[in-house]
Amino acid sequence: MKRFVLSALLFAASAATFAQTTTAVEKDPIKKIEVTGTAELEVVPDELYFTISLKEYFKDEKNQKDKVVLETLEKQLIEAVKNAGLPKENLSISGVTGYREWTGKKKPQHFLAGKQFQLKLSNANNINELMSKVDDRGVEYVNMSRVEHSKKEEFRRQVKVNALKAAKEKAGYLLESIGEKLGEVLEIHEVEEGSVYPMYKQAQYNVRMMAADAAPEGGEALEYQKIKYSYRMNATFRIK
């Protein structure tokens, strides 16, 4: 009798499982559409970062006399930044170097120090006037190392939103073309593409050519392109 009851219970459990499986198979699959939306935005950078390298030198190079020390050059640069009305935090030290000066076949006798600075500006033309206040022979090089925009996070959010809206719009007109209607969103996946920064037409500039009187008329002393923010969003929508 116990065996019969146990067999009946097992049969009932098997029947219930079969019924559930059949129901799951017979249930209509979700009709959906998967699309990708893209968006991009180009902006003119308003934060320009310059690398300025200063180095000690001898006024009398032949005899290695009358050395202009690094402290003098650094004071000139700091004073130039101050007179330009820039915040002191816009100028920071990025590196320190040093080398010995060779004169012909003789071994180097004097150590010359160098220092690199990072300067943030909002206008590339300002670098001309600013560097004209620093001893020309003490400036090894000046170049624009990178650019940014003060509202970059705001721009990135907006481009992502626009990409998602583009995905929804695409899904809508595709379904409309076949007589279907767009339902609610089921999934959203962000595809990070990031930002494209400018490639400079001229990365490094001779300091003497950067003097204010050498700047081209009616043009910018430094040429640069716009920053491009580009993103993709993958989205899946239900078809009504």
Strands (E), 56-90: 57-60, 65-68
Q: Which two tokens stand for residue 57?
A: 């030198």
- Topology alike, domains 28-44+151-240 and 47-148: no
**In contact, 100 and 110? CB cutoff 8 Å:** yes
pTM of the model: 0.68
Q: Which two tokens stand for residue 177?
A: 């073309």
Give dist(CA 93, CA 91) in Å, integer: 7
CATH number of 47-148: 3.30.70
- Residues of the chain above pLDDT 90, percent: 55
Kindly list the distances between the CA atom of residue 239 and the CA atoms of 164, 166, 182, in Å, as whole numbers in the listed order: 17, 17, 5
Nearest to 203 by CA among 96, 82, 51, 101: 51
Read off the pLDDT of residues 145-163 as tens digits, 9 standing for 90 and up.
Answer: 889 999 999 999 999 999 9
CB-based contacts of 219: which residues, under 8 Å, 6+ apart?
none
- What is the pLDDT, as a whole number, of residue 104? 58
Rg of the chain (C-alpha set): 34
Architecture of the 28-44+151-240 domain:
2-Layer Sandwich (3.30)
Per domain, the residue ranges of the chain are 28-44+151-240, 47-148
